[in-house]
Amino acid sequence: MKKILLLALLALSIPAFAAKPKAIVVFLADDLGYGDTAAYGQSLVPTPNLNRLCNEGCRFTDCHSATPVCTPSRYSMMTGRYPHRLPNNNILDGDAKLIIPVEGSGEENVTLPVLMKRAGYKTAAIGKWHLGLGDGKGPIDWNGEIKPSPKEVGFDRSFVMAATADRVPCVYIEDGRVANLDPADPIEISYDRKANPKWEGEITARTNPEMLKDWGRPSDYQHDKTIIDGISRIGHMRGGKAALWKDQDLADTITDKAIDFIKDAKGEPIFLYFATNDIHVPRDPHARFRGVSALGIRGDATVQMDDCLGRVRAALAENGYDDTLFIFTSDNGPRVSDGYEDGARDAWKGVNPAAPWAGGKYSVLEGGTRIPMVACWPGHIQPNTVSHALLSHTDYARSLAAIAGVEVPQGACRDSQELSYVILGQNENGRVSLPEESAWGPWGYRKGNWKFIEGANYGKGVEGPYLFDLTTDPTERENLAERYPEKVKEIQAEIRALRRK
């Protein structure tokens, strides 16, 4: 009897999907804002492949990354934990240690890739990583085996950039080793922010500005270090010449790798985590995309991203993966100018990449974390639909585990909500509330269509707390905190409880 009850309970807790998809793909764009594409109202940037995905799937209007910057957002998607569970969870440099648990480090530490592996998928991480490498006990061995790397986290295959394209090292790391490295030309990395140059003979934007592409100059002291491929970076790098990437080929290179993974899988179940560099800085799209949008290089980079999307989807179709749950989304809100004078500021004058929301990357306003998301699974997700459900990337771990039919162990993915039916567009019963966390400033918090921002000044010149009604005030202008003190108290208590947990 007990056993039957247990089975019944189990059946209730794991939704019974008739069959799991043959492939699950998370396509994660970088810094792509809510209002950056035609799918979300920006008609000056042609993104036909994203449009097609919308026509074939469900478009979400209230999905959020866990924070308005990259690393903690990705941490949350991978672990199913809120960013604040890890102290000082913030943007990492290229030489930072791994911040997500390795496979086998305890059932409570199980991550999204490990769950996918357990569900029988071959897993791959391709593109931007930005979750750290190595165990931090010593410096990363760029010239030997880099361990732990995505491999130890549950990715059978990986081909990644360590951090951002504006940070050294500017090389790809393939299955734990720098790809194309000449052992006679070892790599050395330093994040000494004061020294410029760091080494004698180092070519930086300060020592040799004439070596920069006429594409753009660094706009702050962080981005004016080693020049690689005509672009100055954050941090210093020497050696590894044969392994250096070419920025204009970045999108094609990672897309080719993703396609190789799809082909090599030969119809076996796959989980692909594909993270583009686009449309993060430095934006140096391939020549074939220059000038294709009416919104400068930032618009062009978006078209390039869309091309990657089209190519990955075509490869899936060509290799027998019609039965794919494909999720498109972005790691945080938009930023027009973020370190280089690449012309984006002028091209985007008066145009809001987070429209209709205010704020963007780094910001606690809605535009910081409210990002595009489209999900498609032929035969399971109704084509050409829209969902207004409140949803977080933090929920992917539990929801995808449910879709893949694998159990999440006790204590694991603790902040992830099982919203598989929401992702599949079958209902709009998403989250009731959602923290919009920040590692350096006040948090935002959503409760239905209420938007709360903790006290402290976030650029409005008024002391908080703030309470906005997004239904009537999408750009968060009219502070209703004094008018609704009970609502403020209720939300403050929820935030306190969350931080204590």
Q: 70, 162, 376, 419: which one contacts Ca ion (CB under 5 A)?
A: 70
Instruction: Tell which one of 22, 25, 28, 31 touches ligand NG6 (CB under 6 A).
Output: 31
- Can you tell me which of 107, 220, 322, 341 binds ligand NG6, judged by CB under 6 A? 220
Out of 69, 390, 403, 424, the residue judged to bind ligand NG6 by CB under 6 A? 69
**Which residue stretch of 103-111, 287-295, 331-339, 430-438 sits at the interface with ligand NG6 (rule: CB under 6 A)?**
331-339
Contacts of 343 (CB under 8 A, 6+ apart): 216, 296, 297
36 binds Ca ion (CB under 5 A): no
Does residue number 332 form part of the binding site for Ca ion (CB under 5 A)?
yes
Do 128 and 276 touch, CB atoms closer than 8 A?
yes
Give the 3-state secondary structure of residue 303.
helix
Residues forming beta bridges with residue 338, ordered by sequence position: none
CB of 331 vs Ca ion, minimal distance in Å: 4
Task: Kindly state the number of chain residues that form the binding site for ligand NG6, as judged by CB under 6 A.
Answer: 16
Token pair of 44, please?
């000056």
Our finding on whether 281 is near ligand NG6 (CB under 6 A) is: yes
Q: Is 339 in the site for ligand NG6 (CB under 6 A)?
A: yes
Q: Would you give the DSSP letter of residue 102?
A: P
3-state helix, strand, coil in the chain (%, to 5): 30, 20, 55
Only one of the segments 210-218, 321-329, 332-340, 404-412 lies at the binding site for ligand NG6 (rule: CB under 6 A); that segment is 332-340
234 touches, from ligand NG6, Ca ion, none (C-beta below 5 to 8 Å by class): ligand NG6
Single residue of 105, 143, 196, 222 touching ligand NG6 by CB under 6 A: 222
Q: What is the DSSP string of 4-27?
A: HHHHHHHHHHS---SS--SEEEEE
- 30 touches Ca ion by CB under 5 A: yes
Residue 387 backbone phi and psi in degrees, to 5: -120, 135
Query: Nearest to residue 298, comparing CAs of 32, 87, 85, 484?
Result: 32
Distance (Å, rounded) from C-alpha 370 to C-alpha 420?
19
User: Could you tell me which of 446, 459, 389, 451 has the C-alpha nearest to residue 422?
Assistant: 389
CB of 400 to Ca ion, least distance (A): 21
* Binding of residue 331 to Ca ion (CB under 5 A): yes
The one of Ca ion, ligand NG6, none whose footprint includes residue 95, by CB under 5 to 8 A per kind, is none
Helix (H) or strand (E) holding 263: helix 250-264
CA distance 284 to 376: 30
461 φ, ψ (degrees, to nearest 5): 75, 5
Is 164 a binding residue for ligand NG6 by CB under 6 A? The answer is yes
The distance of closest approach from Cβ of residue 208 to ligand NG6 in the complex, given in angstroms and rounded to an integer, is 20
* Residue ranges in contact with ligand NG6 by CB under 6 A: 30-31, 69-70, 91, 130, 164, 166, 220, 222, 234, 280-281, 332, 338-339
* Residue ranges in contact with Ca ion by CB under 5 A: 30-31, 70, 331-332
